[in-house]
């Protein structure tokens, strides 16, 4: 993609994402409404439909959702330079604010009330992580396979001390295997159904018996 923008347009791209980075808290999904207003409605750099695509693709690509979205929109508007500027814009406020804060907190960390405050804050964070967990649990598709994967990931990391990366790779591989097997089985089934249409009831029953056999094997 080699879209050319004027200098002013590049500057605007950077500015919009700088503002989004500076005024949304929590990032990711919290950013979507502002993104939609600034980029789709006010400027029509992308359409509302693109926005849905961006959310969908951000979920199936690695990394922070905000970065995925900034890169994608920047690319649409101004090619690789555009995506670089958009990403830089969304990251820069965080970068500067956090570095400044890390200095300040480092300085005041030894003061008693600050320590007490952080003791309380950590309890608050526990509540926030609980909520993140509940949200993710609500979103997740509740069938046997996903329960097994979630439980396995939990036990491996929480109780067996396995580090996260191998668990992620293992779960992706399990998901892929499961999906391929399932697809193969349903392809077989649809062929079976096709044949069943052309034959009598008896062979339909046979096909169903075959399918049950397959299930038991797998």
Q: Site size for another protein, by CB under 8 A?
A: 102
Q: Inter-axis angle of helices 7-23 and 65-108, to 10 degrees?
A: 60
**Nearest-approach distance from CB 160 to another protein, in angstroms:** 10
Single residue of 52, 108, 172, 191 touching another protein by CB under 8 A:
172
Helix (H) or strand (E) holding 83: helix 65-108
Report the phi/psi class of residue 79: left, alpha or beta, with left for phi > 0 and alpha for psi in -120 to 50.
left
- Selected range binding another protein among 6-14, 40-48, 94-102, 208-216, rule: CB under 8 A: 94-102
Span 24-83, contacts to another protein by CB under 8 A = 24-29, 31, 53, 56-68, 71-72, 75-76, 80, 83
Q: Does 95 bind another protein (CB under 8 A)?
A: yes
Nearer CB in complex with another protein: 39/84? 84
Q: Which stretch binds another protein (CB under 8 A): 9-17, 172-180, 193-201, 209-217?
A: 172-180
d(CA 9, CA 27): 24
User: Minimum Å distance from CB 202 to another protein?
Assistant: 35
User: Alpha-carbon distance 207 to 86, whole Å?
Assistant: 56
User: Cβ closer to another protein: 180 or 209?
Assistant: 180
Q: What stretch of H or E contains 14?
A: helix 7-23
Phi-psi region of 26 (alpha: psi -120 to 50; beta: other; left: phi over 0): left
Instruction: Write out the binding residues for another protein, residues 104-163 only, by CB under 8 A.
Output: 105-106, 112-113, 115-134, 136-137, 139-141, 145-147, 149-155, 157-158, 163
Token pair recorded at residue 46: 């992308």
The count of residues in the chain is: 218
Work out how close the CB of 141 gets to another protein at its nearest, in angstroms, rounded to a whole number.
Answer: 7
CB of 110 to another protein, least distance (A): 13
Q: How far is CA 74 from CA 19, 48, 83, in A?
A: 14, 16, 4
Which one, 3 or 195, has the nearer CB to another protein? 3
Distance in angstroms (rounded) separating the CA atoms of residues 102 and 66:
22
Binding mask 180-199 for another protein (x = CB under 8 A): x--x----------------
Question: Which residues within the stretch 1-20 sit at the binding site for another protein (CB under 8 A)?
Answer: 1
- Residue 60: CB partners within 8 Å, gap ≥ 6? none
């Amino acid at each position: 993609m080699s879209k050319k923008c004027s200098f002013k347009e590049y500057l605007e791209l950077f500015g919009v994402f700088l503002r989004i980075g500076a005024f949304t808290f929590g990032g990711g999904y919290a950013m979507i409404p502002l993104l939609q207003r600034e980029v789709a409605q006010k400027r029509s750099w992308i359409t509302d439909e693109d926005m849905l695509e961006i959310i969908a693709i951000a979920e199936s690509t690695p990394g922070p959702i905000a970065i995925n979205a900034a890169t994608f929109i920047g690319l649409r508007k101004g090619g690789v330079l555009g995506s670089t500027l958009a990403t830089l814009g969304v990251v820069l406020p965080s970068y500067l604010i956090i570095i400044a804060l890390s200095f300040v907190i480092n300085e005041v960390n030894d003061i008693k009330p600050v320590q007490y405050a952080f003791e309380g804050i950590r309890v608050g964070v526990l509540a926030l992580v609980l909520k993140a967990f509940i949200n993710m649990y609500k979103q997740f598709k509740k069938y046997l396979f996903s329960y097994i994967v979630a439980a396995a990931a939990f036990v491996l990391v929480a109780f067996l001390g396995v580090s996260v990366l191998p668990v992620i790779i293992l779960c992706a591989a399990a998901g892929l295997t499961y999906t391929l097997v399932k697809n193969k089985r349903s392809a077989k089934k649809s062929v079976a159904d096709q044949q069943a249409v052309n034959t009598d009831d008896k062979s339909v029953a046979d096909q169903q018996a075959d399918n049950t056999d397959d299930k038991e094997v797998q």
